Every structure is written in C-alpha cells, then in structure tokens.
C-alpha cells in the first residue's frame, strides 16, 4: 500500500490543463467504432477508463478485461451484442460485484445472446454478436443512465431502430442528453418523444472529425480548492460555457459556496468571493459524480447540508455513501444516511484518531475529493493515491504545479 501526505500552499494562483472529458471520450469511441470510424477522435482522455476502451475496441483477443472501468463494461456489453464474433468481457473483483442484470435483460429482450460466466446478474459475460430485430423496450428510468446510453448508442444499428420507454423517474438525465447530442453529431436521428420515451431511427452513423473538450467533473476539484483556500484564482482552459456535460452545473452550485466563474473563449477562471450560504440542500439526481466533492467541501466549510438523489452512489466504484461517512468520520464529521439516497450533516462532530489516513476504496473520486482538505487541515494523508489514474492521471502533478507539497510515506 502506498500513502502520501499532502500539504497546501498559502495561496493558489495557477492555470491548469484539465484532462479531456472521459464521458465524451468513451461515448465517441463507441459511436465512432459503430460508424466504422475513418476519422480518429482528437484530444481523447488519457485516463484509465478511456485507455481500456481504446484497447478493447482494437483488440482481437477472446477475453476483454476492462479492469475497474464501469463505463466501459456497460457500453462494451451493448457494443459487443451487435458486433460479429464471440467475446468474454470481465474486470476486477469489484467489477464482478457490480450489477449488470438490468442491461443484460434489456439486450436479451432485443434478441442479444449473452450468458453469465460465473454469478447470475454480474460480470464476466460471454457475448455472441447477433442481429437485433425487436424495436421497442421498457426499463426503469431510475437505473444507471449508462444502461440507457449503452442501448441508445447501438440503436441506429438495429434493423428497425429502437424506442425506449422509461417506466419511472429518470436519473442522471444530462448524461442521456449528452449521449443523444453526440449520436446526432455522428449522423444519428435520435431524441426524446416525451419525458419518458426515446426514439432512435435505423440510420447508420458516419465518421466525422471530432475534438473532445475538457472534463467538467475534473474541474469540480479546482472549484473545491478555490472555495476552501484563503486566496485563490484558477484558470481552466478547454472548458466550454455551452457544454453538454451534465457536470458543468458545478459552476452554478459552487456559486452558493463563494466561487465565481468567469467565462472566456473556451476557458473559465475561478475566483473566490467568500459569499457562501449558511446551509446547502441539493438534489444530485442529475450530477451524482459531484456528490463527493460537495460533501467534503461543505463539511470543511462548516456548512450543514442535505444532499438527495444519491441512490446510484451505492453501485459506483465503491459504496460511496458508506465510504464518505467512514472517511469524514476520521476528520471529525458525523454524517447520516437515510432512505438509501440521502446524505446529510447537521453540524455534529466527533473525536478524531490522531493523524488518520483517508482510504480510497479503489475509487478515484475519493482521493480527489479529500485531497483539498489540506487547505483547512495542517495536511491530509491519502492511501493508495494512484487510483486517480482512472479519470485524472496527472491530478497529483497538477497539485504540485499549483504549489501543493506531496510527500510519499
């Protein structure tokens, strides 16, 4: 096990080149491959999840190991279902505990040939590519949006297209919107019929030149640092104000915590205003990947909160709700979980172990959300910091560039 100790600078005035959007990169790779891509997308993310996707799409091996990449598991399961040949797709031990039955059932209903290699409802999967002819399907809207996106992206390849009816409230709707937008850029005819149904015509993709913008999810940690620092101004090139990334909402939410966003030409600059609310209640149903950032930030700013819409956090890289409760407990904050989807803090504190280290649970966002705590504490210790490679490989290097001190222990 590796461990680092992170100490903050007195002030943060820096320009940071964020990684490219993982969400866009992984979708574009699938769509481009289905369109027999003659153009290679530019500025693809260099994170683990995207590199896994690139290797999987170019590999001819019978077994595809996507490691801990949940997005790749969902998207490739659908992709392989419409691609000639038989393959096995597997991943880490944690990946083999993450449910995929809803997606598999939906694909089987459309005519896909998919078998569970070990445990029913979980990877690994044996997938035999076939021609899917059924043109409509129903599934719950409150499942992972990646299941819905996976089905949408293969829909133009189906003989009769596809209509998807969502039978309950839709979570993470911006990610579905992102998928639709990217599909259209590659020539698909796809969109919402009404609030709970989507329709995709059977028109093939065409490969087009495409440039991937920077990642708004990664930007959230620099917003967090700006909010927690005594003196901060951070410029982030490559972010678009009119972004179709759902996590671009981070700018609006952080305004409540005293961070102003100044938009330039394909760049943003973050400035600390110090005008923070006394309490923050928010429904993260559409931005679940931002939850850890805001939970840690609000606690350290001594701002009570009630965050709802977090049900998908339990099936991420780890049970993120349980992990947040345990690790913030090490810093002296007593969080409460309720209804399986709500996390709250009402100011309750507890004793802290001396010089505790934050565990990261093979979860990149745990490492990145807790590192900025050193701006409030004398320092923070992080176990297994290398997990950031999943989405932001040069995170620690960027912190050093901004003046943070990082020591291996």
How far is the CA of 88 from the CAs of 30, 102, 121, in angstroms?
18, 18, 15
Instruction: Please say if 355 is a catalytic residue.
Output: no
What integer is the mean pLDDT of 186-202?
Answer: 96
**135 with 163: CB under 8 angstroms?**
yes
Question: What is the model's pLDDT at position 375?
Answer: 98
Q: What is the pLDDT of residue 269?
A: 98
**pLDDT grade for 74, boundaries at 50, 70 and 90:** very high
| pLDDT tens for each residue of 35-59 | 988 899 999 999 888 999 999 999 8
Q: What integer pLDDT is reported at residue 318 of this predicted model?
A: 78
Q: Which residues, other chains included, contact 190 with Cβ-Cβ below 8 Å and sequence gap of 6+?
A: 152, 155, 156, 180, 183, 184, 198, 199, 200, 201
pLDDT greater than 80 at residue 314: no
Annotate 286-346 with DSSP letters as a single string.
T-GGGHHHHHHHHHHTT--EEEE--GGGGGSSS-HHHHHHHHHHHTTB--EEETTTEEEE-
State the helix-helix crossing angle for 22-34 and 70-81, rounded to 10 degrees.
10
Give the number of other CB atoms < 10 A from CB of residue 10.
8
Q: What's the pLDDT score for residue 143? A: 84
From the candidates 49, 289, 359, 363, which is the catalytic residue? Answer: 289
Is 51 strand, coil or helix? helix
When pLDDT is averaged across residues 240-249 and rounded to a whole number, the result is 91
Cβ-contact 331, 290 below 8 angstroms = no
> Using alpha carbons only, what angle is made at residue 151 by residues 150 and 156, rounded to the nearest 5 degrees?
110
Q: What is the mean pLDDT of residues 15-34?
A: 96
Average pLDDT rounded to a whole number, residues 203-228 = 95
Residues contacting residue 144 through CB under 8 Å, at least 6 positions apart: 74, 102, 172, 312, 315
The tokens 């009816």 sit on which residue?
Answer: 165
Q: With beta carbons less than 8 A apart as the criterion, state whether 266 and 226 touch.
A: no
* Model confidence band, residue 101 (pLDDT cutoffs 50, 70, 90): very high
pLDDT at residue number 237 = 96
pLDDT at 371 over 90: yes
pLDDT at 53: 96
Question: pLDDT at position 354, please?
Answer: 79
Distances (CA, A) of 318 to 33, 270, 290, 313: 30, 30, 15, 8
Q: Is 265 a residue whose pLDDT tops 80?
A: yes
pLDDT of residue 36: 87
Q: How would you list the strands of the sheet with 280-283, edge to edge?
A: 280-283, 305-308, 342-345, 336-338
Given this model, what pLDDT does residue 394 score? Answer: 97
Task: Please give the average per-residue pLDDT across 80-109, as a whole number.
Answer: 95
Question: At what angle are helices 22-34 and 145-154 packed, to 10 degrees?
Answer: 30
- Predicted TM-score of the model (pTM): 0.84
With 90 as the cut, is the pLDDT of residue 160 above it? yes
State the Cα torsion 119-120-121-123 to the nearest 10°. 40
Q: What is the DSSP letter of 42?
A: B
Give the residue from 156, 157, 159 showing the smallest Cα distance to 198: 156
Dihedral (CA of 67, 73, 75, 80) sign: positive
Supply the pLDDT for residue 91. Answer: 96
Specify the DSSP element, H or E, that contains 70.
Answer: helix 70-81
pLDDT of 316 over the 80 cut: no
> Rounded mean pLDDT of 107-126?
97
State mean pLDDT over 10-18.
97
At residue 355 the predicted structure's pLDDT band, cuts being 50, 70 and 90, is: confident
pLDDT in tens, 281-304: 999 998 989 999 999 999 999 999
Report the pLDDT value the prediction gives residue 176, as an integer from 0 to 100: 95
Give the mean model confidence (pLDDT) for residues 179-187. 97
């Amino acid at each position: 096990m590796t461990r680092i100790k992170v100490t903050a600078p007195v002030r943060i005035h820096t320009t940071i080149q964020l990684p490219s959007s993982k969400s866009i990169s992984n979708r574009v790779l699938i769509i481009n491959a289905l369109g027999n891509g003659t153009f290679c997308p530019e500025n693809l993310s260099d994170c683990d999840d995207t590199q896994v996707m690139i290797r999987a799409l170019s590999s001819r091996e019978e077994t595809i190991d996507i490691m801990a990449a949940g997005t790749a598991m969902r998207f490739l399961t659908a992709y392989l279902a419409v691609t000639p040949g038989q393959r096995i797709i597997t991943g880490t031990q944690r990946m083999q505990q993450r449910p995929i039955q809803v997606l598999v059932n939906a694909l089987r209903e459309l005519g896909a040939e998919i078998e569970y290699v070990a445990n029913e409802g979980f990877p690994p999967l044996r997938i035999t590519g076939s021609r899917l002819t059924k043109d409509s399907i129903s599934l719950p809207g409150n499942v992972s949006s990646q299941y819905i996106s996976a089905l949408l992206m293969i829909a133009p390849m189906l003989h009769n297209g596809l209509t998807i009816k969502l039978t309950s409230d839709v979570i993470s709707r911006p990610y579905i919107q992102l998928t639709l937008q990217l599909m259209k850029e590659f020539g698909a005819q796809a969109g919402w019929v009404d609030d709970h149904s989507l329709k995709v015509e059977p028109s093939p993709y065409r490969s087009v030149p495409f440039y991937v913008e920077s990642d708004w999810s990664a930007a959230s940690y620099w917003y967090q640092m700006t909010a927690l620092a005594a003196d901060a101004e951070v410029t982030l090139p490559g972010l678009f104000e009119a972004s179709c990334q759902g996590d671009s909402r981070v700018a609006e939410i952080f305004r409540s915590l005293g961070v102003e966003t100044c938009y330039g030409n394909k760049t943003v600059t973050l400035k600390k205003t110090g005008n923070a609310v006394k309490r923050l209640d928010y429904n993260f149903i559409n931005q679940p990947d931002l939850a850890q950032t805001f939970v840690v930030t609000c606690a350290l700013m001594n701002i009570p909160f009630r965050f709802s819409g977090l049900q998908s956090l339990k099936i991420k890289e780890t049970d993120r709700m349980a992990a947040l409760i345990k690790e913030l407990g090490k810093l002296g904050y007593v969080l409460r979980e309720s209804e399986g989807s709500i996390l709250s803090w009402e100011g309750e504190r507890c004793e802290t172990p001396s010089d505790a280290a934050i565990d990261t649970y093979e979860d990149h966002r745990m490492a990145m959300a807790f590192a900025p705590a050193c701006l409030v504490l004398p320092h923070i210790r992080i176990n297994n910091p290398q997990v950031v490679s999943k989405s932001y490989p040069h995170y620690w290097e960027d912190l050093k560039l901004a003046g943070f001190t990082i020591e291996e222990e």
